[in-house]
Amino acid sequence: MSNVGEYAIVVENLVKKYDDLIAVNNISLKIKRGEIFAFLGPNGAGKTTAIEILEGIRKKTSGKAFVLGKDIDKRKELDQIKKIIGILPQEFNTHLNLTVKENLRFWSRMYGKNIPIEDLIALVKLEDKANVQYKNLSGGLKRRLGIAISLVNDPELVFLDEPTTGLDPRARRETWAIIENLKEQGKTIFLTTHYMEEAHVLADTVGIIHKGEIMDIGTPTELIDKHGGANKIIVRCNDQETRDQIHNILFEMGPMENDEGDIVISAKKKGSISKVVDLLEENDVPYSDIVTQRPTLEDIFLALTGEILITSTETEDKS
Ligand SMILES: Nc1ncnc2c1ncn2[C@@H]1O[C@H](COP(=O)(O)OP(=O)(O)OP(=O)(O)O)[C@@H](O)[C@H]1O
Ligand SMILES: [Mg+2]
């Protein structure tokens, strides 16, 4: 492979087996320098295994991988990789009794190249917490310190393994802003997530990963255009009687119901939207709202795997 250095990451036919279990099943991908790449997939998909092989933490079974142009099979190059990447591990933890500032000082000493601690604190917006012990930070703030620690060596490429899992929606959005800011500084970000919204909002390129295999890779828009099918028409209603009435009236259009009790109709035929509105109006149906929706990455995951991607309903960080 001659042009591996053009990319932040090149992976070819990577395989990882744990005894009989194939955790990473022959994956290949290329990540451009300066982009945000997201692995989107559920628990056990192989995300952590794959990125920890690239970080030099786990050993692969077979395949090739180049990180910032360096070959992970070559001992010396792997040592160099470890110095120029940043890592937020999925199970991030650091010294409980040290403050934010002290923790950053501790990790900074491990590297020859590092950036001022004040800059790191500002980058993750922890100015107010600089002198608070790690153990007294909320879950979201702990994770933010973790991101700051991943940046102490001013890495060109940062791996963030589930940077927002378990955070409440506000903390999640704050972390997204920090990650976007890292991209603006020219860094390449490789993150993993099982939140489709996170992948959609942040990632330039998404790799949908399921049972160790990459089902497809593309920009969120490309994936939705390719696998998403038609827009959906969603009719919201407040009571069962209205719901039953709509099912009857729109029967021919194959109405379905979502978890919220809304009626969902595929807009695959031209004129579907006006037909739905006309039928509801003609019959004086007291619906509360009608909207159309483009398919989401969640729909894409379902289309590609036949399974549902569990997403943003489980948010439990109590700060
Ligand atoms: N050290 C290990 N030994 C044996 N099996 C492992 C080991 N690490 C992971 N596995 C298995 O490999 C598969 C992939 O695990 P991995 O942690 O890479 O998934 P993941 O996509 O990161 O999941 P999550 O979203 O839960 O973090 C799982 O079936 C897991 O149980
Ligand atoms: Mg994981």
Ligand 1 and 90: CB distance under 6 A: yes
Residue 75 CA to residue 81 CA, distance in Å, equals 10
Q: Is the CB of 47 under 6 A from ligand 1?
A: yes
The reply to whether the predicted model has a pTM over 0.75 is yes
Edge to edge, the sheet with strand 36-40 lists 85-88, 157-161, 188-193, 36-40, 205-210, 213-218
Q: What is the pLDDT of residue 242?
A: 94
CA-to-CA dists, residue 8 to 13, 20, 66, 162, 312, angstroms: 17, 31, 8, 20, 29
C-beta of residue 65 within 8 angstroms of C-beta of residue 9: yes
Q: Which atom of ligand 1 is nearest to the CA of 90?
A: 27
Torsion, Cα of 59, 61, 63, 64 (10° steps):
10
**Rounded Cα gap, residues 83 and 80, in angstroms:** 5
CATH class of 4-226: alpha beta
pLDDT at 230: 87
Q: Is the CB of residue 214 less than 8 Å from the CB of residue 27?
A: yes
Q: Do domains 4-226 and 232-293 have the same CATH topology?
A: no
Ligand 1 centre distance from Cα of residue 49 (Å): 6
Cα distances (Å, whole numbers) of residue 33 to 202, 205, 316: 15, 12, 34
**What fold is seen in the domain 232-293?**
Alpha-Beta Plaits (3.30.70)
Instruction: For ligand 1, say whether the CB of 43 is within 6 Å of any of its atoms.
Output: yes
Q: Which tokens hold the place of 304?
A: 């590609």
Contacts of 91 (CB under 8 A, 6+ apart): none
Distance CA 58, CA 289 (A): 51
pLDDT of res. 313: 44
The domain ranges of the chain are 4-226, 232-293
SS3 string, 256-274, reads: EECCCCCEEEECCCCCHHH
Is any atom of ligand 1 closer than 6 Å to the C-beta of 45? yes
User: Which helix (H) or strand (E) is 149 found in, with range?
Assistant: helix 139-150
> In a mutational test of the pocket of ligand 1, which residue from 16, 22, 48, 311 has the highest number of ligand atoms less than 8 Å from its CB?
48
pLDDT along the chain (319 residues), means of 10: 86 97 98 97 96 97 98 96 95 96 94 86 95 95 95 96 91 94 96 95 97 97 92 92 94 91 90 93 93 91 86 43
Looking at the DSSP assignment, which residues form a beta bridge with residue 209?
Answer: 214
Cβ(18) – ligand 1 distance below 6 Å:
yes
